[in-house]
Amino acid sequence: MSERSPLYDDPALARAYARVSAANVYNAAYERPAMHEVLGDVHGLDVLDAGCAAGEHSAWLVAAGACVVALDASAAMVGLASERLGAAARVLEADLAQPLALPDAAFDVVLCSLTLHYLEDWHPPLREFRRVLRLGGRLVVSVHHPFVTLGMVGDYHAVQRVDDAFSNYAEEPIPVRYYHRSLERIVADLRAGGFAISALHEPRLQADADVRDAELAARLRTQPWFLIVEAEAAAR
C-alpha cells in the first residue's frame, strides 16, 4: 500500500472531501467538466474509474450510459461510492500499487482522476491499466500540473515527494503527500506502460467558478493547476 493521507482514509474527513469536492472550484468547476469533455460520449462503454473517491465521476459516467467499475484504496471512500452508486456500478476496494483483480481487455476506457500523483512508481498501475484495456481503448488521466508542483520541489527533473496540507476539509489543514514528476517523465512513463499519447489538455475554468470562489477563480484563470493526459492502449 502506498503512503496515505487521513483525508481519504478517515471516515469523517472522507465525508468532508466528498461534500467539498462536489461543489468546489478545483473539482466541480475545473477538473470534472474538463475530464468529461475529454471523455466525450461514453454510452455503452465499459469504463474503469480508478481512484473513484466518493464516486462523482462514476455517477456522471453511469448517467451518461457507461457500464462502470469503480475502485479506490480507501475503505471509507469505497463505502461512500457504494452508497451513492448502489447497484448502478460495481465498486471495489483496491490499491493501484498492486495487481488488480480484474480481467484482461475488459474496458474501453480507464479514467484515473487526480489519483496517480499519490503513487511514487507509476509503472505498476500503468501496466495494469494497459492490461485491462482493450487494444485501442483510452486512458484519461488527470494529475497536478508539474508547473505547479515545480514550486514545491528542489529539482524539476526528479520524481519528488511533496509534503503538502489541504485546507477546506477540516478546521486544521490536513497533511497530504503526493509526487511531482516532470512532463518528460509523465510522457515516458505512459509510453513505457504501453500507451500512445493522443493529447495533453490544460483545462480552463467553467464560467460559474467565480460564483464558487472568486479569488481562486481569478488565480486559476491565468495559470495551470491540473494536467489531463489522453492516451490510447497501443499494440504490445
Ligand X SMILES: C[S@@+](CC[C@H](N)C(=O)[O-])C[C@H]1O[C@@H](n2cnc3c(N)ncnc32)[C@H](O)[C@@H]1O
Minimum CB distance to ligand X smaller for 11 or for 234:
11
Q: Which of 40-48, 107-115, 154-162, 209-217 is the region at the interface with ligand X (rule: CB under 6 A)?
A: 107-115
Specify the amino acid at residue 142: S
| Least distance between ligand X and beta carbon 39 (Å) | 13
Minimum CB distance to ligand X smaller for 13 or for 135:
13
Q: Which of 101-109, 113-121, 130-138, 166-174 is the region at the interface with ligand X (rule: CB under 6 A)?
A: 113-121
| Least distance between ligand X and beta carbon 232 (Å) | 21
Residues 87-106 that bind ligand X (CB under 6 A): 95-97
Minimum CB distance to ligand X smaller for 57 or for 138:
57
Q: Does 118 bind ligand X (CB under 6 A)?
A: yes
The span from the CA of 111 to the CA of 87, in Å, is 20
The span from the CA of 160 to the CA of 154, in Å, is 8
Residues 24-83 that bind ligand X (CB under 6 A): 27, 51-53, 56-57, 72-74, 77
**Pairing relationship of beta strands 107-113 and 89-93 according to DSSP bridges:** unpaired
Minimum CB distance to ligand X smaller for 56 or for 189:
56
Q: Give the interface with ligand X as residue ranges (CB under 6 A).
A: 2, 8, 21, 27, 51-53, 56-57, 72-74, 77, 95-97, 113-115, 118-119
